[in-house]
Amino acid sequence: MRLALDEARLAARGGDVPVGAVVLAPDGTTVLARAHNEREAGGDPTAHAEVLAVRRAAAALGEWRLSGCTLVVTLEPCTMCAGALVQSRVDRVVYGARDDKAGAAGSLWDVVRDRRLNHRPEVVEGVLAEECAGLLTEFFRDR
């Protein structure tokens, strides 16, 4: 999560909402990809940290299936990102702060664990939650 927090800080410096993500290889320690929100930087509404990290991890592996991988992200994924995580077949989603307004991994919706879907990653929530939430609070307070 510390690596994801570093990425989130990079997003804030670029004017984007401070969300950072890291994809870990099946060994749980090798970093396949890092990313942060780049919606403002690239003018791309889909440039969320999770989507970018998943794309980069798939490129690093040379395939779209991220079986055995873990995505670590500072904020609970939204519906778009949750869908991407299901489609990419990540095994685990670890997030810091809950998103009661748009979260799709247990708070507002639970897309990633929806039994109607063909893949349901494990979800671990609340890792360094206060620090992750603090970055977001500070960012929006300063705006």
Q: Contact, 135 vs 9, CB < 8 A?
A: yes
pLDDT of residue 142: 87
Rounded to an integer, what distance in angstroms lies between the CA atom of residue 131 and that of residue 61?
A: 31
Q: Contact, 73 vs 1, CB < 8 A?
A: no
Phi then psi dihedrals of residue 8, to 5 deg: -60, -40
Binding residues: 48, 78, 81
pLDDT of residue 143: 82
Phi then psi dihedrals of residue 128, to 5 deg: 50, 40
pLDDT of residue 11: 98
Mean pLDDT computed over every residue of the chain: 97
Q: Contact, 38 vs 44, CB < 8 A?
A: yes
Confidence of residue 41 (pLDDT cuts 50, 70, 90): very high
Does residue 1 have a pLDDT over 90?
Answer: yes
Q: Which tens digits make up the pLDDT trace of 85-142?
A: 999 999 999 999 999 999 999 999 999 999 999 999 999 999 999 999 999 999 999 8
Please identify every residue annotated as catalytic.
50
pTM recorded for the entire structure: 0.96
Binding residues for Zn(2+): 48, 78, 81
Secondary structure (3-state) at 123: strand
List the alpha helices (DSSP H) in the chain: 2-13, 39-42, 49-61, 79-88, 129-142
Q: What is the mean pLDDT of residues 18-41?
A: 97
